[in-house]
Amino acid sequence: MDESEIVVDVARGDTTLSREIVTSLRSIADATGDPAFAKLVEQVTSGELGVRELAGTEVFSSMLDRLVAPVFESLKETTFEDLVEERPDLKCNADHTPRDDPSSATHRGTDMSRIHVWLAMIVVIAGIGLTGPTASAATPYCGIHWGSLDKVNPTMVASPFTAVRAGRHECFDRIVVDLAGPAAGYRVGYVPAVHEDGSGFEVPLRGGAYLQVVVLAPAYYVPANRREVVDVSGYRTLQQVAWANSFEGQTTLGVGLRARLPFRVFTLDGPGSGSRVVLDVAHQW
């Protein structure tokens, strides 16, 4: 993902702070060389994992203990005299000016590297709003662990696509596709732009992120308003639901969202002999 596209849902939705947090996380991963932590940072950057979800992992907690806790513990017991005794390069001349000790250059460089890593972790902690590795802020929003990577079910059916509905829930916005028969498969994922099936024309959408929703079932109708298939005015996450054609046995919708957010897709039987494909998009990470 391009650096300018990084959007991490932290307290207050501050995108500048979000970029600082991601930069700091990358600095920590590079400096420590911890592959598990580096993998989590990439998941945050790709949008698969929210920063608050990251903060709730054992890997993050271990890194926090490793980098920050020892610093604060040592500072509690350290006096200036102790520091001078341990760091002769901090001793002063008779006129109280710092004594230059060339032999301490390597020591100072190592300490500065450590300080930079400590500061990076503190930026992350401050941005997330943590007071410790078990703070309540680390709890995922509404307990959601959906992630934002593609969701796929390859089942093709001949059940016709009959309607699209939307609804608002406490933790997410929902889109429901009604089918007149057994449940269909789907391919749903974030894309830079949604394109119509068949023609390839781009579908204009409002919002800061776009989901391409492909239901593996045909539609034998065209909505009266292709750009506003269902009214989502006032929804917290959904910005627009547009028609992107039905072609060769599959039907595509373009969904505009406020931002790249976690989502899930599943199917339900009913009502009657029909079925539903359900898309839920969380209100935040």
Question: Residue 22 — pLDDT band, cuts 50, 70, 90?
Answer: confident
**pLDDT the model gives residue 131:** 40
Whether 189 and 228 map to the same domain: the answer is yes
Nearest-Å Rg of the Cα atoms of the chain is 26
When mean pLDDT is compared across 110-119, 142-151, 268-277, the lowest value belongs to 110-119
CA dist 184 and 178 (Å) reads: 10
Q: 216 and 157 in contact (C-beta within 8 Å)? A: yes
User: Residue 18 belongs to what H/E stretch?
Assistant: helix 15-32
Residue 3: how many other CB atoms lie within 10 Å: 9
pTM, entire model? 0.57
Q: What's the confidence (pLDDT) of residue 39?
A: 84
Structure tokens at 248: 């060769």
Runs of H (alpha helix) within 129-196: none
Residue 195 lies in a domain: yes
Q: Of 11-15, 138-142, 151-155, 268-272, which range is least confident?
A: 11-15
Asked if residue 50 is part of any domain, the answer here is yes
Indicate whether 45 and 100 sit together in one domain.
Answer: yes
Q: Which domain holds residue 46?
A: 3-139
* Distance in angstroms (rounded) separating the CA atoms of residues 21 and 52: 11
Q: Return the pLDDT at 71.
A: 55
The CATH number assigned to the domain holding 155 equals 2.60.40.3500
Residue 58 CA to its chain's centroid (Å): 18
In a domain, 51, yes or no: yes
Is residue 159 domain-shared with residue 276, that is, in the same domain? yes
For residue 67, report the phi and psi dihedrals to the nearest 5 degrees.
Answer: -100, -40
In a domain, 66, yes or no: yes
The total number of structural domains in the chain stands at: 2
| Model confidence pLDDT, tens digit, residues 201-215 | 999 999 999 999 999
| Residues 28 and 110 grouped into a single domain | yes
